[in-house]
Amino acid sequence: MSYSKRADGRKFDEMRKIEAKAGVIPNADGSAFFKIGNTGAYAAVYGPRNLYPRFLQNPKKGILRCHYNMMPFSGKGNRVRPGGSRRSKEISLVTGKALLPVLNLDEYPNSVVDVFIELPETEAGSRCAGICAASMALADAGLLMKDLVSAVSVGRVDDRLVIDLDAVEESYEEGPVADIPIAMMTNSDKITLLQMDGLVKKEQLMEVLEMAKKACKEVYDIQKQALKDKYKVEKQVAGEKNE
């Protein structure tokens, strides 16, 4: 039986509704909120600041640390167990690796930049939402960056190639499913994260990569506009105070 229609009525190459906002946590050095569908992520950046204990320091450049956490009430199914888990550690690691290529930390020896990602609501695509929020938060913190990192999941549901799998598609049982989270430096088309849960043919993988490039450009435009909107508001407020 062919997978002929998505449960939420989207086209196969259509993402869920996206919301993005920068500067949402006042006490952080940089922060952002990114939501796609019913998956929302807050990211807060602290640093660069001195790294302790000192034996962890790198005298040549700063260190990036990412901390990914799903809140206990965030899932639609069973309650998420609070505290660290193998999954959260794995996603924290791949998030850091996805973000590091756009950062220049050479000017911050012996320092650390901490990125905390909290997800109060999740329904598929949580690591991609976290990466998008974290990238915006790093930019909001004023760190030197080559580009923004944009991320989206693509994959296969039965005989169809789709963008931005939702929870229903991830648990589809009537045919094969492959979920492929991808993060990209959008302006250079360089991939910083590529994972896969499931199986696809080589030709299908090449096709979904092209679909991901197009989708990431859409995500990038939304991220960039959210950052512009934040500083536009700040400039207006500053102007009103000077009058």
Predicted confidence pLDDT, tens digits, the chain (243 residues): 578 888 888 999 999 999 999 999 999 999 999 999 999 999 999 999 998 888 888 899 999 999 999 876 655 655 566 566 788 899 999 999 999 999 999 999 999 999 999 999 888 889 999 999 999 999 999 999 999 999 999 999 988 999 999 988 888 888 889 999 999 998 888 999 999 988 889 999 999 999 999 999 999 999 999 999 988 766 555 555 555
In this prediction, residue 128 carries a pLDDT of: 96
* Position 5 in a domain: no
Q: What is the CA angle 40-44-45, rounded to 5?
A: 145
C-alpha 188/C-alpha 202 separation (Å) is: 23
Domain containing 40 equals: 18-242
Q: First CA to last CA across the chain, in angstroms?
A: 67
In this prediction, residue 206 carries a pLDDT of: 93
* Position 132 in a domain: yes
Structure tokens at 51: 């790294």
Beta bridge partners of 46: 114
Structure tokens at 103: 């950062």
Number of Cβ within 10 Å of residue 199's Cβ equals 11
In this prediction, residue 56 carries a pLDDT of: 86
* Position 8 in a domain: no
CATH of the domain at 71: 3.30.230.70
* Position 10 in a domain: no
* Position 152 in a domain: yes
* Position 3 in a domain: no
Structure tokens at 67: 């901390």
* Position 204 in a domain: yes
pTM of the predicted model as reported, rounded to 2 decimal places: 0.90
In this prediction, residue 109 carries a pLDDT of: 93
Count of domains forming the chain: 1
* Position 237 in a domain: yes
DSSP the chain: ----S-TT---TT-PPPEEEEE---TTSSEEEEEEETTEEEEEEEEEEEE-SSGGG--SSS-EEEEEEEE-TT-SSSSPPPSS--HHHHHHHHHHHHHHGGGB--TT-TTEEEEEEEEEEE-SS-HHHHHHHHHHHHHHHTT--BSS-EEEEEEEEETTEEEES--HHHHT--SS-EEEEEEEEETTTTEEEEE--BS---HHHHHHHHHHHHHHHHHHHHHHHHHHHHHHHHHHHHHHHHH-
Structure tokens at 75: 């899932």
**Torsions phi, psi of 118, nearest 5?**
-120, 135
In this prediction, residue 83 carries a pLDDT of: 60
